Amino acid sequence: MLPTIVLVGRPNVGKSTLFNRLTKSRDALVADLPGLTRDRHYGRGVGGDKPFLVVDTGGFEPTAESGIMKEMARQTLLAIDEADVIIFVVDGRQGVSPQDKVIANRLRKSQRPVLLAVNKTEGMQRAVVSAEFHELGLGDPLSISSAHGEGVRDLVELALEPFADPADAAPFNEEDAPKVAIVGRPNVGKSTLVNALLGEERVIAFDQPGTTRDSIYIDLEKNGKHYTIIDTAGVRKRGKVFEAIEKFSVIKTIQAIEEANVAILVVDAQEGITEQDAHVAAYILETGRALVVAINKWDGLKEDERDWIKREIDRKLQFLDFAKFHYISALRKKGLPELFTSVDGAYKAAMAKLSTPQLTRVLIDAIAQHQPPISKGIRPKLRYAHQGGSNPPIVVIHGNHVDGVKDTYKRFLEGVFRKTFQLTGTPLRVQFNQGDNPFSEPDKRVQGEGIVSMRRRKTAQRAELNARKNDEVKQGKHKASGLEIAKRAPKKKKSS
């Protein structure tokens, strides 16, 4: 087991900045706003000679009795219980605050080793700045600057000094476990679903839109399989996003979707299918991610309301016909096993390996059933197909005059491939590749010229040649008409 270092402190003292410094990443959102971090954020530390885990926590308010601050304090206390070493981060520019004293008393009761890190001391006399923090009774304060990295390495080495070097620890490699992103509008039950899947209160689930601000990556083992669950912030309409923090949260959500293998789109059944639900689904489809749709809060609807929701799904989300829909209750943990069965199926379909002979046979059968429509007097000829990528599966079809293949026929081929190979839960993309004419002279490119530039140059040359021919034809007609007029004109008699 790797030693776990937990960062604790009141809001806006630089814990997330120190977390990013220790993990050499930008996983944690950082801004000059108190209370930005709310959930526990785990990362692999790479700032010391020994491997370790580091946990970022929200601003610690031990005396909070209600609201979101109480939930944040509860998450911090859970992280403290898991800690091998606690780094208590304080603000050197603001000095000792009454809240720092309360936190110090609480940390002493935890019976965990505590290191006191006085942050934001860049450009200051460290001995003078850290002197007043001796009154917290947590040993010698260590002056650091998490933003500039000053003193951070010494802090990490001191924290890891009691632990032996785990020589038998497995090297750190990213697992091939599927990454599953939980996405949707604010307050539809994403965090509640994450906690239900994990079987613990891992993230804050609060009846307030925008509770989750960062994308939280959590490892999960279910039925002998490993997954990485990503809890994301809710995505609202662009016109309703005003705060800069929410804009960063949306960016993190978009990045999580692009990084994931499967996305679970959570929809609130009690509010119906909104335009924003369709927009989020369209973005998932655009990125090519496998998709499972979870209609949450299904247990609170009457029979006629359920029928109305199903009609709304057929009308507004008909472009998601490849995905499976599940009607669940995250709060009561109903329908979750079937949901994860569809996640496994969608991941398997997204990563499927399709052989070239099978794809070509399916293509030939599809053409025999329905040939490509004629375009500009020419019928496209599709010859063979092969796989061009996974997640999503890409089928590349080679042939002649493929520029004339219409979108309707392209969708027809996508449906045929998806049905034949049983690719449920993932979008499938069909690409066409124009075959070269073996009887045409090969185009010679100028040195350093790209294909697009060569084609433009050839097009310009052909246009210039055609213009010259037209000018010659016009000049020829003009000369011919002049001769004809000269022949018809009466000849003058010669004088005797």
Given this model, what pLDDT does residue 451 score? Answer: 63
pLDDT score for 40: 76
Mean pLDDT in residue range 450-479: 77
- Looking at per-residue pLDDT, the higher value among 305 and 211 belongs to 305
The CA distance from 104 to 289, in Å, is 46
Q: Is the pLDDT of residue 421 over 80?
A: yes
Determine the 3-state secondary structure of 100 from DSSP: helix
User: Sheet of 179-184: strands edge to edge?
Assistant: 216-222, 225-231, 179-184, 262-268, 290-296, 324-327
Confidence band (pLDDT; 50, 70, 90) for 176?
Answer: low
**Binding annotation:** 9-16, 56-60, 119-122, 184-191, 231-235, 296-299
Over range 63-67, report the average pLDDT: 67
Q: Is the pLDDT of residue 241 over 50?
A: no
What number of other Cβ atoms are within 10 A of residue 137's Cβ? 12
Which structure tokens are listed for 195?
A: 């906690």
- Residue 419 has which token pair? 């049905």
Tokens of 180: 């599953």
Least confident of 144-153, 208-217, 390-399, 461-470: 208-217
- What integer is the mean pLDDT of 285-309? 90
Distances (CA, A) of 413 to 176, 322, 396, 435, 450: 31, 14, 11, 19, 32
Mean pLDDT score across all residues of the chain: 81
Burial class (CB in 10 A: 0-12, 13-18, 19+), 16: buried
Domain annotation for the chain: domains and CATH numbers: 4-160 (3.40.50.300), 179-350 (3.40.50.300), 356-434 (3.30.300.20)
**Per-residue confidence band for 65, with pLDDT thresholds at 50, 70 and 90:** low
Q: Tell me: the pLDDT tens digits for 8-17?
A: 888 888 888 8
Q: What is the pLDDT of residues 248-294, one digit of tens each?
A: 667 778 888 888 899 999 999 888 888 888 888 888 998 899 999 99
Q: How confident is the model at residue 216 (pLDDT cuts 50, 70, 90)?
A: confident
Q: What is the mean pLDDT of the segment spanning 51-64?
A: 80
Instruction: Let me know: does 27 contact 41? Beta carbons within 8 Å.
Output: yes
Residue with the larger pLDDT of the pair 236 and 51: 51
Give the model's pLDDT for residue 12: 83
Q: Provide the b/e sequence for 412-433 (b: ≥16 CB within 10 Å).
A: bbbebbbeebebbbbbbebebe
Q: Between the CA of residue 164 and those of 6, 51, 113, 114, 287, what are the distances in Å?
A: 18, 10, 16, 18, 45
Would you say residue 205 has pLDDT above 70?
no
Provide the whole-model pTM. 0.69
Instruction: Report the distance separating Cα 469 and Cα 127, nearest Å.
Output: 88
Q: Where are the alpha helices (DSSP H) in 125-221?
A: 126-131, 152-160, 190-198
**Mean pLDDT of the region 204-221:** 67
422-449 pLDDT, tens digit each: 999 999 999 998 866 555 555 555 555 6
pLDDT value of position 420: 92
- Structure tokens of 343? 């996640």
Q: Which residues of 189-225 are buried (b: 16+ CB within 10 A; e: fewer)?
A: bbbbbbbbbbeeebbbbbeeebbbbbbbbbebebeee
Kindly state the average pLDDT of the residues 18-27.
81
- The DSSP secondary-structure symbol of 136 reads G
Provide the percentage of residues in the chain whose pLDDT is more than 90.
Answer: 20
Q: Looking at the chain, how many residues does it have?
A: 496
R_g of the chain computed on alpha carbons: 33
- The per-residue pLDDT for 166 is 59
Residues making up the binding site for GTP? 9-16, 56-60, 119-122, 184-191, 231-235, 296-299
What is the structure's pLDDT at 172?
46
